[in-house]
Structure 1
């Protein structure tokens, strides 16, 4: 047995385990630990591909395994957390609307399946990647817990706004919106990487200023910046 070939798959399975642990914590309403374990899973998701390329052992099995692991960590976990958030704030007889939280799971599933066969997404993304969407959703109960803003509090306990977030999430995961890659080009000069470096700098500032609330702001900023880049700069560089 080729040991090197099993390293990326083992990391992928650890990503899956992280998603399962996150679900256990979410079941107990420990959203902070759920968020941490989803972050660990996303971190592992990056490195399984890294080691597959490093050892030159990329395989169709690894590709499918990666999507199945992401389905739990970045699909089921955020869907379940949103289900709980809506359920905790939805009064009778409308409690069944909480199941709309799993629209996030369905949208993630469709995106992951489509990503495997979409040859346009080798260097950049079309639609929001599932890990970014998962971070957005998992950060919401933490923003709710730690915010001092009455406006944010009212927004995040409003079940109808949460339903809207579910619909928007499922849409943006699969929307035909090109999003720029965060990979820094090898020459590492400003001209070639100004978009990525500018985004990273502003993201650090947002996270430093707003802590957990900075996470959804960073994701929203990423989408908006990509749209602006597509509209005004990408075509000009052709």
Structure 2
């Protein structure tokens, strides 16, 4: 048990440069939330639902993280900062990283019968801050969901999802094979497909703006009337 705790703390330290020691990680709210969830989930599976809910409410009060006792969580889940909601039928694999204000939400069945209605996260998934993953969908292994993205469809393995509604970006294999990408969003790498001209989308837009400015200047020059020539002959004064 002690060795598994050390391995868990080391896995968090490998993904977070802030802590100076393992003792500091022991104060993380995400670690406490996951630990208390293990107890609540054990009570939930034993059909002691009230006690499981009681521990869930205490954990939410203490950490600001709401994990339903029925959720299934694998090894080494790292919830950074907190304020996260994980639904009852959510399933989380190993070495998943979840940043602040993330929701693993469900869809409400029209017939009112409970069932699988929350997401399944495969191993090594990264969810950026504010991401909303909704419904009984599957997020493939090593997939990344960018900050504030809303995902309602299955995510392929290794894909990066951004936007509202989230769409996949073209990420090279050598990028998603990296061990860990903070916040689920690549830095210093293109997030949009490269255009046909070989430049990025931003460069294409800047070229279009420059062309439009030149066209507007040409139209203004064509419509501006030329100034009338002024006479240089001096006026004669009338004699009274």
Richer in helix (by share): 1
Q: TM-score, normalised by structure 1?
A: 0.27
Q: Which one scores higher on RCO, CA 8 angstroms, separation ≥ 6?
A: 1
Richer in strand (by share): 2
Structure showing greater Rg: 2
